[in-house]
């Protein structure tokens, strides 16, 4: 995708000649955005609200359909903030998601190794939790 421009800031912008082109989000990107949001809220009481970094909030809004006028990137002032919100652009592809995530790292070129290590660690923790819960279940049956 040659139309993407990257900067040291965690953002992806389109070249000016392509900004008018509407971005239709992939259902995969939308579903992933919803899954991430739900995973972040998992285990919270319904009265609790998860605090997200502005970058993560913007990424999720862009993934789930921030282009449809839901207030993302409106430039409106939010209570408690002295500056307008940064414009959240629609995220149309997994490549854009990966680029945004990579840009947040000190060494973006090491993103594949970093995120593989993160997924590996989460997988190991999941296995350990599953083993622990199985032991509890077995102990209750005895």
The predicted structure's pLDDT at residue 141: 87
Mean pLDDT by runs of 10 across the 142 residues of the chain is 45 44 73 90 82 89 68 42 60 88 91 92 94 94 82
What are 20's two structure tokens? 């008018």
Collect all residues with Cβ–Cβ distance below 8 Å to 5 and sequence separation of at least 6.
12, 13, 14, 15
Closest CA to 54 of 86, 80, 79, 76: 86
What are 56's two structure tokens? 């993560």
The predicted structure's pLDDT at residue 74: 41
The predicted structure's pLDDT at residue 66: 56
The predicted structure's pLDDT at residue 44: 81
pTM, 2 dp: 0.57
How many helices, marked H, and strands, marked E, lie in the chain?
A: 4, 2
């Amino acid at each position: 995708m040659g139309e993407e421009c990257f900067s040291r800031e965690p953002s992806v912008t389109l070249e000016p000649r392509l900004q008018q082109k509407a971005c239709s989000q992939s259902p995969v990107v939308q579903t992933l955005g919803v899954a991430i949001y739900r995973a972040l809220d998992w285990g919270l009481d319904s009265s609790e609200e998860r605090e997200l970094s502005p970058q993560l909030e913007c990424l999720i809004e862009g993934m789930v359909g921030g282009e449809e006028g839901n207030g993302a990137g409106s430039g409106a002032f939010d209570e408690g903030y002295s500056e307008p919100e940064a414009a959240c652009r629609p995220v149309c592809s997994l490549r854009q998601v990966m680029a945004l995530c990579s840009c947040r790292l000190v060494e973006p070129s090491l993103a594949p190794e970093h995120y593989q290590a993160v997924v590996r660690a989460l997988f190991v923790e999941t296995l350990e939790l599953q083993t622990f819960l199985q032991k509890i279940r077995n102990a209750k049956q005895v």
